[in-house]
Amino acid sequence: MPAFAYHRPASLDEALDLLSRFGEDAKILAGGQSLLPLMALRLSHPANLVDISRVPGLNEIVEDVEGGLAIGATVTHTRAEEAEAVHRLTPLVAAALPLVGHRAIRNRGTVVGSLAHADPAAELPAVALALGARFIAVKSGGQRRVAAADFFSGFLTTDLAPDELLLAVGFPPQKPRTGVSVKEISRRSGDFAIVGLAATVSLDEAGLIASSALSFFGAASTAVRVTEAEEALAGQSPGPEAFEEAARIVSQSLDPPEDANGTTAYRKHVAGVLTRNALADAIDQIGFAA
Protein backbone atom coordinates (compact mmCIF):
# COMPACT_ATOMS: atom_id res chain seq x y z
CA MET A 1 0.00 0.00 0.00
CA PRO A 2 1.42 3.45 -0.86
CA ALA A 3 2.02 5.76 2.12
CA PHE A 4 -0.71 8.15 3.18
CA ALA A 5 -1.83 10.13 6.18
CA TYR A 6 -4.82 8.54 7.89
CA HIS A 7 -7.60 10.62 9.42
CA ARG A 8 -10.52 9.23 11.31
CA PRO A 9 -12.87 12.14 12.01
CA ALA A 10 -15.39 11.70 14.79
CA SER A 11 -17.98 14.06 13.34
CA LEU A 12 -19.33 15.14 9.96
CA ASP A 13 -18.07 18.70 10.47
CA GLU A 14 -14.59 17.43 11.14
CA ALA A 15 -14.72 15.21 8.03
CA LEU A 16 -15.81 18.15 5.88
CA ASP A 17 -13.10 20.38 7.38
CA LEU A 18 -10.50 17.77 6.40
CA LEU A 19 -11.89 17.56 2.86
CA SER A 20 -11.85 21.34 2.41
CA ARG A 21 -8.31 21.48 3.80
CA PHE A 22 -6.86 18.72 1.59
CA GLY A 23 -9.07 19.03 -1.52
CA GLU A 24 -7.66 16.91 -4.36
CA ASP A 25 -5.11 15.36 -2.00
CA ALA A 26 -7.73 13.49 0.02
CA LYS A 27 -9.85 10.44 -0.66
CA ILE A 28 -12.80 9.36 1.44
CA LEU A 29 -12.52 5.87 2.91
CA ALA A 30 -15.77 4.17 3.95
CA GLY A 31 -15.77 0.42 3.24
CA GLY A 32 -12.59 0.66 1.16
CA GLN A 33 -13.58 -2.19 -1.17
CA SER A 34 -12.98 -0.12 -4.31
CA LEU A 35 -10.34 2.32 -3.06
CA LEU A 36 -8.00 -0.13 -1.33
CA PRO A 37 -7.69 -2.46 -4.36
CA LEU A 38 -6.84 0.58 -6.50
CA MET A 39 -4.20 1.58 -3.96
CA ALA A 40 -2.87 -1.99 -3.72
CA LEU A 41 -2.46 -1.99 -7.50
CA ARG A 42 -0.80 1.46 -7.30
CA LEU A 43 -3.48 2.93 -9.54
CA SER A 44 -4.37 5.43 -6.84
CA HIS A 45 -2.08 7.05 -4.28
CA PRO A 46 -3.95 9.66 -2.28
CA ALA A 47 -1.88 11.62 0.24
CA ASN A 48 -4.69 11.58 2.78
CA LEU A 49 -7.40 9.09 3.62
CA VAL A 50 -10.42 10.37 5.51
CA ASP A 51 -12.07 7.37 7.16
CA ILE A 52 -15.74 8.28 7.64
CA SER A 53 -16.75 4.86 8.97
CA ARG A 54 -17.21 6.16 12.53
CA VAL A 55 -18.93 9.43 11.74
CA PRO A 56 -22.27 9.22 13.54
CA GLY A 57 -25.54 9.49 11.60
CA LEU A 58 -24.32 8.12 8.26
CA ASN A 59 -25.16 4.45 8.81
CA GLU A 60 -28.90 4.85 8.27
CA ILE A 61 -31.63 3.67 5.94
CA VAL A 62 -34.52 6.13 6.10
CA GLU A 63 -38.03 5.88 4.62
CA ASP A 64 -39.55 9.20 3.59
CA VAL A 65 -43.23 10.10 3.83
CA GLU A 66 -43.80 9.81 0.07
CA GLY A 67 -42.58 6.21 0.04
CA GLY A 68 -39.04 6.89 -1.10
CA LEU A 69 -35.92 5.62 0.58
CA ALA A 70 -32.58 7.20 1.48
CA ILE A 71 -29.41 5.21 2.13
CA GLY A 72 -26.64 6.88 4.14
CA ALA A 73 -22.95 7.04 3.30
CA THR A 74 -21.72 4.19 5.49
CA VAL A 75 -24.52 1.63 4.97
CA THR A 76 -22.91 -1.57 3.69
CA HIS A 77 -24.27 -3.61 0.78
CA THR A 78 -25.04 -6.47 3.17
CA ARG A 79 -26.99 -4.20 5.50
CA ALA A 80 -29.03 -2.80 2.61
CA GLU A 81 -29.52 -6.32 1.22
CA GLU A 82 -30.96 -7.45 4.54
CA ALA A 83 -33.14 -4.38 5.12
CA GLU A 84 -36.85 -5.07 4.70
CA ALA A 85 -37.49 -1.48 3.57
CA VAL A 86 -35.06 -1.85 0.66
CA HIS A 87 -36.98 -4.86 -0.65
CA ARG A 88 -40.37 -3.24 -0.12
CA LEU A 89 -39.65 0.25 -1.47
CA THR A 90 -36.79 -0.24 -3.93
CA PRO A 91 -37.06 -3.74 -5.44
CA LEU A 92 -34.58 -2.84 -8.19
CA VAL A 93 -31.91 -2.00 -5.61
CA ALA A 94 -32.70 -5.24 -3.78
CA ALA A 95 -32.39 -7.20 -7.05
CA ALA A 96 -29.00 -5.65 -7.84
CA LEU A 97 -27.32 -5.98 -4.43
CA PRO A 98 -26.68 -9.77 -4.49
CA LEU A 99 -24.77 -9.24 -7.75
CA VAL A 100 -22.33 -6.74 -6.22
CA GLY A 101 -18.97 -8.47 -5.63
CA HIS A 102 -19.03 -11.35 -3.15
CA ARG A 103 -20.36 -11.67 0.38
CA ALA A 104 -17.05 -10.62 2.00
CA ILE A 105 -16.92 -7.54 -0.26
CA ARG A 106 -20.55 -6.66 0.46
CA ASN A 107 -19.93 -6.99 4.20
CA ARG A 108 -17.54 -4.02 4.02
CA GLY A 109 -18.37 -2.14 0.83
CA THR A 110 -20.99 0.61 0.92
CA VAL A 111 -23.86 1.42 -1.43
CA VAL A 112 -22.96 5.10 -1.54
CA GLY A 113 -19.28 4.24 -1.99
CA SER A 114 -20.11 2.18 -5.10
CA LEU A 115 -22.02 5.14 -6.49
CA ALA A 116 -19.25 7.64 -5.72
CA HIS A 117 -16.68 5.30 -7.25
CA ALA A 118 -18.83 5.22 -10.43
CA ASP A 119 -17.37 2.16 -12.09
CA PRO A 120 -19.16 1.91 -15.46
CA ALA A 121 -19.33 -1.90 -15.11
CA ALA A 122 -20.86 -1.79 -11.60
CA GLU A 123 -24.54 -2.50 -10.97
CA LEU A 124 -25.54 0.29 -8.60
CA PRO A 125 -24.76 3.34 -10.78
CA ALA A 126 -27.02 1.85 -13.48
CA VAL A 127 -29.71 1.18 -10.86
CA ALA A 128 -29.49 4.79 -9.63
CA LEU A 129 -29.77 6.04 -13.20
CA ALA A 130 -32.76 3.77 -13.92
CA LEU A 131 -34.61 4.96 -10.82
CA GLY A 132 -33.77 8.66 -11.18
CA ALA A 133 -32.05 8.66 -7.81
CA ARG A 134 -31.05 11.89 -6.10
CA PHE A 135 -27.61 12.37 -4.61
CA ILE A 136 -27.07 14.52 -1.57
CA ALA A 137 -23.62 16.10 -1.61
CA VAL A 138 -22.39 18.06 1.38
CA LYS A 139 -19.38 20.26 2.05
CA SER A 140 -18.39 22.77 4.70
CA GLY A 141 -21.17 25.35 4.69
CA GLY A 142 -23.38 23.83 2.02
CA GLN A 143 -25.48 20.97 0.77
CA ARG A 144 -26.89 20.29 -2.69
CA ARG A 145 -28.88 17.67 -4.55
CA VAL A 146 -27.74 16.20 -7.83
CA ALA A 147 -29.96 14.19 -10.17
CA ALA A 148 -28.60 10.80 -11.25
CA ALA A 149 -28.60 11.97 -14.88
CA ASP A 150 -26.12 14.73 -13.93
CA PHE A 151 -24.08 12.74 -11.42
CA PHE A 152 -22.08 10.26 -13.51
CA SER A 153 -19.88 12.40 -15.71
CA GLY A 154 -17.31 9.93 -17.05
CA PHE A 155 -15.17 6.87 -16.36
CA LEU A 156 -14.83 6.66 -12.55
CA THR A 157 -15.82 10.34 -12.50
CA THR A 158 -18.77 12.07 -10.88
CA ASP A 159 -20.09 15.58 -10.40
CA LEU A 160 -18.73 15.60 -6.81
CA ALA A 161 -16.16 18.29 -6.05
CA PRO A 162 -12.99 17.28 -4.14
CA ASP A 163 -14.26 18.95 -0.96
CA GLU A 164 -17.68 17.30 -1.15
CA LEU A 165 -18.87 14.18 0.59
CA LEU A 166 -21.72 12.07 -0.78
CA LEU A 167 -23.94 12.05 2.29
CA ALA A 168 -26.73 9.81 1.00
CA VAL A 169 -28.58 8.58 -2.04
CA GLY A 170 -32.35 8.96 -2.26
CA PHE A 171 -34.59 6.71 -4.34
CA PRO A 172 -38.06 7.95 -5.36
CA PRO A 173 -41.16 5.86 -4.64
CA GLN A 174 -41.83 3.10 -7.13
CA LYS A 175 -44.78 3.67 -9.49
CA PRO A 176 -47.77 1.34 -9.26
CA ARG A 177 -47.88 -1.74 -11.55
CA THR A 178 -44.09 -1.78 -11.88
CA GLY A 179 -41.80 -4.76 -12.41
CA VAL A 180 -38.01 -4.70 -12.18
CA SER A 181 -35.14 -6.88 -13.31
CA VAL A 182 -31.35 -6.89 -13.22
CA LYS A 183 -29.58 -9.11 -15.74
CA GLU A 184 -25.86 -9.43 -16.34
CA ILE A 185 -23.27 -11.61 -18.00
CA SER A 186 -19.97 -11.99 -16.17
CA ARG A 187 -17.07 -14.42 -16.48
CA ARG A 188 -17.41 -15.60 -12.90
CA SER A 189 -20.00 -15.06 -10.20
CA GLY A 190 -19.27 -11.77 -8.44
CA ASP A 191 -17.06 -10.35 -11.18
CA PHE A 192 -17.80 -7.04 -12.80
CA ALA A 193 -20.28 -7.55 -15.60
CA ILE A 194 -19.13 -7.79 -19.20
CA VAL A 195 -22.46 -6.16 -19.89
CA GLY A 196 -25.56 -5.83 -17.75
CA LEU A 197 -28.90 -4.11 -17.48
CA ALA A 198 -31.09 -2.67 -14.73
CA ALA A 199 -34.65 -2.42 -16.03
CA THR A 200 -38.01 -1.20 -14.79
CA VAL A 201 -41.35 -1.34 -16.60
CA SER A 202 -44.57 0.31 -15.43
CA LEU A 203 -47.98 -0.45 -16.91
CA ASP A 204 -50.97 1.87 -17.12
CA GLU A 205 -54.44 0.84 -15.96
CA ALA A 206 -55.21 -0.61 -19.38
CA GLY A 207 -52.18 -2.88 -19.12
CA LEU A 208 -50.10 -1.04 -21.74
CA ILE A 209 -46.53 0.06 -21.07
CA ALA A 210 -46.67 3.51 -19.46
CA SER A 211 -42.94 3.98 -18.92
CA SER A 212 -39.74 2.04 -18.67
CA ALA A 213 -36.05 2.41 -17.84
CA LEU A 214 -33.33 0.44 -19.62
CA SER A 215 -30.09 1.31 -17.86
CA PHE A 216 -26.90 -0.48 -18.94
CA PHE A 217 -23.58 -1.14 -17.21
CA GLY A 218 -20.39 -2.34 -18.86
CA ALA A 219 -21.65 -0.75 -22.06
CA ALA A 220 -20.04 2.72 -22.08
CA SER A 221 -17.71 4.94 -20.03
CA THR A 222 -20.59 5.47 -17.56
CA ALA A 223 -23.86 3.76 -16.80
CA VAL A 224 -26.13 4.64 -19.72
CA ARG A 225 -29.86 4.57 -20.55
CA VAL A 226 -31.14 3.83 -24.02
CA THR A 227 -33.98 6.34 -24.19
CA GLU A 228 -34.88 5.53 -27.83
CA ALA A 229 -35.79 2.00 -26.78
CA GLU A 230 -37.67 3.28 -23.71
CA GLU A 231 -39.68 5.64 -25.92
CA ALA A 232 -40.42 2.87 -28.41
CA LEU A 233 -41.89 0.76 -25.61
CA ALA A 234 -44.28 3.47 -24.41
CA GLY A 235 -47.90 2.73 -25.25
CA GLN A 236 -47.08 -0.79 -26.46
CA SER A 237 -48.72 -3.94 -25.26
CA PRO A 238 -46.12 -5.84 -23.21
CA GLY A 239 -45.10 -8.94 -25.15
CA PRO A 240 -42.46 -10.56 -27.34
CA GLU A 241 -42.95 -8.17 -30.26
CA ALA A 242 -42.45 -5.00 -28.26
CA PHE A 243 -39.51 -6.55 -26.35
CA GLU A 244 -37.87 -7.67 -29.59
CA GLU A 245 -38.12 -4.18 -31.05
CA ALA A 246 -36.65 -2.65 -27.87
CA ALA A 247 -33.82 -5.19 -27.98
CA ARG A 248 -33.10 -4.32 -31.61
CA ILE A 249 -32.88 -0.60 -30.81
CA VAL A 250 -30.62 -1.31 -27.81
CA SER A 251 -28.20 -3.41 -29.87
CA GLN A 252 -28.17 -0.76 -32.57
CA SER A 253 -27.67 2.32 -30.41
CA LEU A 254 -25.14 1.13 -27.82
CA ASP A 255 -21.48 1.41 -28.74
CA PRO A 256 -19.68 -0.48 -25.95
CA PRO A 257 -15.90 -0.47 -25.66
CA GLU A 258 -13.90 -3.56 -26.61
CA ASP A 259 -11.62 -5.37 -24.17
CA ALA A 260 -10.28 -8.82 -23.35
CA ASN A 261 -13.70 -9.93 -22.08
CA GLY A 262 -15.67 -9.09 -25.19
CA THR A 263 -15.78 -7.29 -28.51
CA THR A 264 -18.08 -4.37 -29.23
CA ALA A 265 -20.24 -6.60 -31.45
CA TYR A 266 -20.52 -9.24 -28.71
CA ARG A 267 -21.53 -6.67 -26.09
CA LYS A 268 -24.12 -5.12 -28.42
CA HIS A 269 -25.60 -8.55 -29.08
CA VAL A 270 -25.67 -9.51 -25.39
CA ALA A 271 -27.24 -6.17 -24.46
CA GLY A 272 -30.14 -6.97 -26.82
CA VAL A 273 -30.63 -10.45 -25.40
CA LEU A 274 -30.55 -9.11 -21.84
CA THR A 275 -33.12 -6.46 -22.80
CA ARG A 276 -35.58 -9.09 -24.01
CA ASN A 277 -35.05 -11.27 -20.95
CA ALA A 278 -35.21 -8.41 -18.45
CA LEU A 279 -38.42 -6.99 -19.90
CA ALA A 280 -40.12 -10.39 -19.85
CA ASP A 281 -38.91 -10.95 -16.29
CA ALA A 282 -40.11 -7.52 -15.12
CA ILE A 283 -43.55 -7.96 -16.72
CA ASP A 284 -43.93 -11.41 -15.11
CA GLN A 285 -43.57 -9.81 -11.69
CA ILE A 286 -46.40 -7.39 -12.35
CA GLY A 287 -48.61 -10.32 -13.33
CA PHE A 288 -47.73 -11.93 -10.04
CA ALA A 289 -48.65 -8.86 -8.01
CA ALA A 290 -51.99 -8.34 -9.77
Cα–Cα distance, 201 to 195 (Å, whole number)? 20
Residue 140 interacts with another protein (CB under 8 A): yes or no:
no
* Candidate ranges 27-35, 144-152, 156-164, 257-265; the one touching another protein (CB under 8 A): 27-35
The one-letter amino acid at 161: A
| 88 lies in the site for another protein, by CB under 8 A | no
Closest Cα partner for 51 from 11, 102, 24? Answer: 11
Q: Which is nearer to another protein, 96 or 250 (CB)?
A: 96
Strand order in the sheet with 134-139: 61-63, 69-72, 165-171, 134-139, 142-147
Out of 32, 72, 218, 238, name the contact with another protein by CB under 8 A.
Answer: 32
Do residues 238 and 147 lie in contact, with contact meaning Cβ atoms separated by under 8 Å? no
By C-alpha distance, which of 42, 62, 154, 64 is closest to 112? 62
Q: 160: closest CA among 250, 73, 93?
A: 73
Pairing mode of beta strands 61-63, 48-51: unpaired
Is there binding between residue 207 and another protein (CB under 8 A)?
no
Candidate residues 44, 85, 87, 108; the one interacting with another protein per rule CB under 8 A: 108
Tell me: does residue 2 bind another protein (CB under 8 A): yes
Binds another protein (CB under 8 A): choice among 23, 24, 40, 237: 40
Question: Which residue from 5, 62, 147, 234 is in contact with another protein, where contact means CB under 8 A?
Answer: 5
Q: Does 102 bind another protein (CB under 8 A)?
A: yes
Within 7-26, which residues bind another protein (CB under 8 A)?
Answer: 7-11, 14
CA dist 168 and 188 (Å) reads 30
Task: State the residues that interact with another protein by CB under 8 A.
Answer: 1-11, 14, 29, 32-33, 36-37, 40-41, 47, 49, 51, 53-54, 78, 101-105, 107-108, 188-190
